[in-house]
Structure formats: structure tokens, C-alpha cells
Amino acid sequence: MGDRLKYQLEEKHIPKHWYNIQADLPVAAPPVLHPGTRQPVGPDDLAPLFPMALIMQEVSAEREIEIPDPVRNIYRMWRPTPLFRARALERALDTPAKIFYKYEGVSPAGSHKPNTAIPQAFYNKEAGVKRLSTETGAGQWGSSLAFAGSLFGLDVTVYQVRVSYDQKPYRRALMETYGAHCLPSPSNTTDYGRKVLGERPDHPGSLGIAISEAVEIAAKDPQTKYALGSVLNHVLLHQSVIGMEAMEQLMMADAWPDIVIGCAGGGSNFAGIAFPFIGEALRGKAKKPRIVAVEPAACPSLTRGKYAYDFGDTGHMTPLSKMHTLGSSFTPPGFHAGGLRYHGMAPLVSHLKELGELEAVAYGQRGCFDAAIKFARCEGIVPAPESTHAIKAAVEEALRCKRDGKQETILFNLSGHGHFDMGAYIDYFAGKIEDVAYDERELARAMADLPQVAAE
């Protein structure tokens, strides 16, 4: 009915610092291990892949890390992002709950991913790097890094998971518009890609395989560095602007959340909305909300995976991190939320789940799209397939409030729009969206192959 409430900050309220939850952890996260020696990695071990500024952010325990002025100036293109109260959705659900959502789809690339793509490109440019290589699933990260590369004059090569490369041609076109070179993964351009194709020519690809290809390219060329759109500590750090802005906007609404929700694949948008709220509670400054990570039932790392040391890629080129994992060789089925098709979860998200600071749920894609359609018809925004999972959880929590007669405040992160993912909606209306299941035998094989680490 066109009466949603919008809470918009001014440009001067763009955060001047990123928030680093490592400063407030009651127990430090387990160390990252070298893939060869199985000893904790040092900055020099990561230098072939990342510029030193990002490496130091990765290992930092400082609570606040200053956002460089050039990065903040580019953030002004879309930040601060709006916070909405979904009053029409509340009425449609007939719930006493108040539902707020932070909308990250207003960025040029249409998602939260430029929050980290811009600083990563900035620090690489400062270090004299000429080229960046990366992977992408649905294409939100690839298009965001392509956008950032265009602003800083960096060449960008993106390995896109084959099934998403075929499903989402407009994401590919967006990357190319920004000047990036986009390749389907597995590809014939890397040793590891050729190995995978030699064993299975029709391989649908996975984020783990695409990471291996991008890492291989960076490791072989001193002028190329690797950029990752999720999982790593510095990526989650950069996304903290989401939650910090949301706190100020909720104060404008005279509200504080009882529940904070985000979809979770690698963990970046979830951490962006959730970590600042967790940090406030850990420091005793605010009541801790329930923190809910929502993942796809077809790739359930938090709800089904094992908390163990594992490789971040399928080719075992990356360091070993302790995380919730389905096994680095696990290939999820080709459901539409390509950005959530990753075998592992961010180590910091995994660690906080082990500490009891957050909970996780998993939903099938059919129910998520049902919720997305209801949301779009009430709020006017067509969400990305990944974001439908957060909407589904918010709807379920609002319906619980209705059953229980509770007037709770729900906040979720709407991490991106679905304008480049309309093929998924075409399939939905054609009745082709189904709750695909992963192969239990393949999962068992992948879990059996987890590396043996004495530190565990």
C-alpha cells in the first residue's frame, strides 16, 4: 500500500571505521594453518596472494580499523543504504512483530559485495598490483570486483561456477561491461581446471574449484593478486558497515532487534549485519538479539557440516581454516542461489556458532521463493535468490510471533536485488523451482576426505 517506512542516514554518517569482532571474542579463533607444514601461517605465507595491508587486517585484533578516505568517497555512491520497516508485509502476515530490513541492493553492482570489493581494489592498487583474479558463484561478487577494478584501473579475471555461468548470462554481461574477463569454471586456462575437466568433462563446477583456479593464476604471476568475496576475516570486517549503519537507523526508529537474520553461504553479508550487534552485547553495551544464519538445505554447512580444519578450495592450494564444512570436494546441486553454494563457512562465523553466539537454520529453495514473491508484492523489491533465505526466516519468525502473541522486532539483511537473476523467477512461475537434494554418498565421501590436523 506504499506506506513502508524508510530510515535514511546522511553521507556524514557513513562509518569512519570498520568493526573487528576479533577484539571482543571471549575465546580467540583457532589459527589458520599452512597447507604444507600444518603450522600457523604468518604474514609472509599469505604475501603471494594478498597485499600486506589486507594481510594485517586479516590478523588484526584492533576493534576499529580506519576506512581510508578514498574508500569512503566511493562508498558515497550508495552508502548509507536505507533501512525500511516492512509494514505492508507485517499486515499481509497479520503479525504483531515489527519487521525491518537493511537494503544493500542499492549499490551499483546490486548487492552488498562492493563494501569489500572497493577496499580490496584500493589496497591492491596502493601496493602496485596490476591484476586481480577471483571466483564467483551467482556473479554478485564477480560483478562487484569488476566494478571496483574499473574504478582503480585494475585488470580483473573472474572464474564463474559453470552452472551459474549458464544460468545467469546478465551477471556475466555486467562483469564484461565493467571490463572484467569472465570464464566458466572449471576451465581449460588452468592446470587444475584441466584436471577436473579431464576427470569429468560435464562438471557443473563449484566455488571450491573456481577458487582453486583463481588462486593458481595469482600464485603464478607476481603482478596478480587474489581477491575473495567472503569467508576471510578482512572481508567480514569490511562488511561491518552494514550493521553499524543499521544500529543508527534503528535508533531513529526507536527500536532494537530481538532477532537479527542474514542468509549465509560464505558468511560475509551475514557477518556484516550480525557482528556489530554481537559485539555490542559482548561488550555489555546492549541486549543481545537472537542471531540467525539462514542457509540452503541443499548446501547446509552450518547445520550439517563438521567443525574441522579444511581447505577453502577443492584443489588444496589455500591455507587450512577451522570452519563448519561439508568437505572441500563436495559439489552442491545447481540450485538458483549460486552465492550460497559453498562447502564451508567463514571461520569467524563458525567459531561464534561454536561459542553459542548464533544459531543456524536451513530451508529449501521452493519455500524461500514463495516468501520472496510475497515480499516483492508487499514491498516492491525483487530479492536476489540468496536473499530469499533471509526473507523466509523473517516470515517464519513473524508467524511465530503471531502464534505466540509476541510483539518482537525482527531485522534482516536484504543483501541484494534479483534483477540479474530473473531466470530463477521465470523457473518459479513455470513450476520448475524444486527443493533439490544433495547426494548423501558424495557428502560422506567429501567428509571422509577432511585433512587430519594434529591441532584439533
131, part of any domain = no
Q: How many CA atoms lie within 13 A of 406 on its CB side?
A: 12
Instruction: Kindly state whether residue 214 falls inside one of the protein's structural domains.
Output: no
Residue 92 domain flag: yes
C-alpha torsion sign, points 309, 312, 315, 316: negative
Residue 275: enclosing H or E segment and its boundaries?
A: helix 268-282
Residue 310 lies in a domain: yes
- Phi then psi for residue 352, to 5 deg, are -70, -30
Closest to 109 in 3D by CA, of 146, 152, 84 = 146
Distance separating alpha carbons of residues 246 and 289, to the nearest angstrom: 14
Residue of 55, 48, 46, 53 whose CA lies nearest to 222: 48
Q: Sign of the CA dihedral 241, 45, 340, 282?
A: negative
**C-alpha cell recorded at residue 193:** 581446471
pLDDT for 348 equals 98
AA letter at 372 = A
Residue type (1 letter), 401: C
- pTM of this structure: 0.94
- DSSP state at residue 35: T
CATH number at residue 410: 3.40.50.1100
Domain assignment present for residue 351? The answer is yes
Q: Confirm whether 85 is domain-assigned.
A: yes
Weakly modelled stretches of the chain, pLDDT under 70: 1-2, 333-339, 455-456
Q: Is 343 contained in some domain?
A: yes
Q: Determine contact, residues 122/37, Cβ cutoff 8 Å.
A: no
- Answer yes or no: is 441 within a domain: yes
* 131-136/98-103 β-pairing: unpaired
DSSP assignment of 101-124: EEE-TTSTTSBSTHHHHHHHHHHH
Domain that holds residue 260: 5-14+69-110+240-448
Tell me how many domains the chain contains: 1
